[in-house]
Structure formats: structure tokens, C-alpha cells
Amino acid sequence: MKSDSLIEIDHVTFGYDASRAILKDVTLRFARGKVTSILGGSGCGKTTLLRLIGGSAEPSSGEVRFDGQRVDTRDREGMFRLRRRLGMLFQFGALFTDLSVFENVAFPLREHTDLPEAMIRDIVLMKLNAVGLRGAANLRISEVSGGMARRIALARAIALDPELIMYDEPFAGLDLISMGVAANLIRTLNDVTGATSLVVSHDVPECMAISDHVILMAPGRIVAQGTPSDLMNSTDPEVRQFVRGEPDGPVKFHYPARPLADDFDVRTETAQ
């Protein structure tokens, strides 16, 4: 019997060097078929979680499991099979600018399958239709808007009908209409395909509107998690500050540093 969790993060610690841990003993479960949003300020480790799940980074300690199997970056064949089962929407689309809209969406199908061109054509047009851009199939990437580019990237991410779709800041840089379209697409595609969706973002209203579960991160740790209602109604000062966008609270503006006067004293001594 399959576990209710598709992704398991088990006591994971990760850092790019020994002096600074990005994640510290983090344990999380991501439910199958649900939309989970991971919220938090810049640099708190949200995108790092996606990199660990996708196998582009390896924990310093702990374990990441996909559908019960450990994500092992040293197992090349295993990583190939894993990545065949997931789709990734990168923060700014990461589209191939020298390819047309159609060719961008067709790319993963040609890379990972032996389907005939006639079937690839049908699949690409269906995926573009799902994001409302079938009529733009022959355009070049330079001819589409930022919002359209994000939808094209989404069509490419779902080309292989992945079990897991990961979204890295899907609302960044979008106008309000495009943002609403993107949020609606994430929710609709999740429900229609039965996929599991992980949304990394700092946009509170959009994530609260489409998520089944929300995780709030601070640098290296989990602050809170629960339903959107749980977090919006939380009395925890750190949660309240983030979801309400309050400038004052437990999260400080300044990065930790010694007193300002000490820096000026050092400059004065050096000049002498």
C-alpha cells in the first residue's frame, strides 16, 4: 500500500559550506495529490528544498525520499527515472529563446520518449491548449509577454504528465491578471491531472487561495505549517508578521552584524 506522502524530508541538514547551514534538521511530508505552498523570505531555504527533491543537491545529513525511494544523486539511472516523473517550472521560465513556443514544449517529449512526431504534435497542442496558448504555438519566445512565457513554461513542465510538479516563484514579476491566471492554472492542473504540486513563493494571497497545505519557513527551519486558515488565524508573532506583511516583528530588517560604531572605529584606526 502506498504512503499518503509522495515526498518525505527526513531530518535533513544542508549547507553550501561548513560555516553556514541553509537547512537545519528539517523534517517534512508532502501529501499526494495536494497543492502545498512553501512560503518564506528570500534566502530561507525554499528553493533549496526543491533542489534536494530533484536531486540537483544532496543533503549533508538526513534523507530525501520520493515515493518511498531514497533520492540518491550518485545513482545516475535512478535519477533519470526520478526526473522522468517530475516537472519543474523555473522562476523565470528558463525557456529556450532560439526555439519556438511549440518546440519548447516538445523538447522534453523528444528527449525522454520515442513517440512519433504526429503524437508529439498532438500532445504539445493539448498542453498549450490547457494553458490557453494553442494559438501561440508558432511564435518565437521573443514575441510573447512575460505572463505568456510563464504559461509556456508550465505547458512544458506538464508535457510528460508528471506525478510531481514543482513551481519556483511562479508569480514573480507578473501583473495582477497574469498572477491570477497562473494561480488558477496551478490549482486546476493539479485537480485535473491528480498530480502533487509544490509551490515555492513569498506571495501570500495567491498561495493561500490555491493551497491545501502551507509551510512557513525562516532561515534553516520550519516556523509553522497547516491549512491556509490555520496560518492566517495564527497568533504566533512570526507567522502573523509574515502573512500580514508587517515591517516590525520577530523578523528583523538588518542581517546580524556587530554594532555600527565598531565598524567606524575600525575605519578610524586604519586611517591613523
Q: What is the pLDDT along the chain (272 residues), one digit of tens a residue?
A: 667 889 999 999 988 776 678 888 999 999 999 999 999 877 778 888 888 998 888 888 899 999 888 888 888 888 888 888 888 887 666 788 888 999 999 988 888 888 999 999 999 999 898 888 888 889 998 888 878 888 888 888 888 888 898 988 888 777 787 788 888 888 988 888 888 999 998 888 889 999 999 999 888 889 899 999 999 988 888 888 887 766 655 565 556 677 777 777 655 555 55
CA–CA dist 180, 205 (Å, integer):
10
Q: Is the four-CA dihedral 171, 174, 176, 179 of positive or negative sign? A: negative
Q: 51-66 pLDDT, tens per residue?
A: 899 888 888 889 999 9
Specify the pLDDT at position 255. 61
CA–CA dist 196, 164 (Å, integer):
5
CA–CA dist 242, 196 (Å, integer):
25
Residues 101 and 144 sit within 8 Å (Cβ to Cβ): yes
How many distinct structural domains can be found in the chain? 1
Nearest CA to 192 out of 184, 204, 200 is that of 184
What CATH number corresponds to the domain at position 206?
Answer: 3.40.50.300
DSSP of the chain: ---SEEEEEEEEEE-SBTTB-SEEEEEEEEETT-EEEEEE-TTSSHHHHHHHHHTSS--SEEEEEETTEE--TT-HHHHHHHHHTEEEE-TT----TTSBHHHHHHHHHHHH----HHHHHHHHHHHHHHTT-GGGTT-BGGGS-HHHHHHHHHHHHTTT--SEEEEESTTTT--HHHHHHHHHHHHHHHHHH--EEEEEES-HHHHHHH-SEEEEEETBEEEEEE-HHHHHT---HHHHHHHHT-SSSSS-SSPS---HHHHHHHHHHHH-
Q: Which domain holds residue 43?
A: 5-252
Residue 263 lies in a domain: no
- Looking up cell 559550506, which residue turns up? 17
Residues 127 and 158 sit within 8 Å (Cβ to Cβ): yes
CA atoms within 13 A on the CB side of 241: 15
Residue 258 lies in a domain: no
CA–CA dist 120, 102 (Å, integer):
10
Residue 189 lies in a domain: yes
Residues 74 and 80 sit within 8 Å (Cβ to Cβ): no
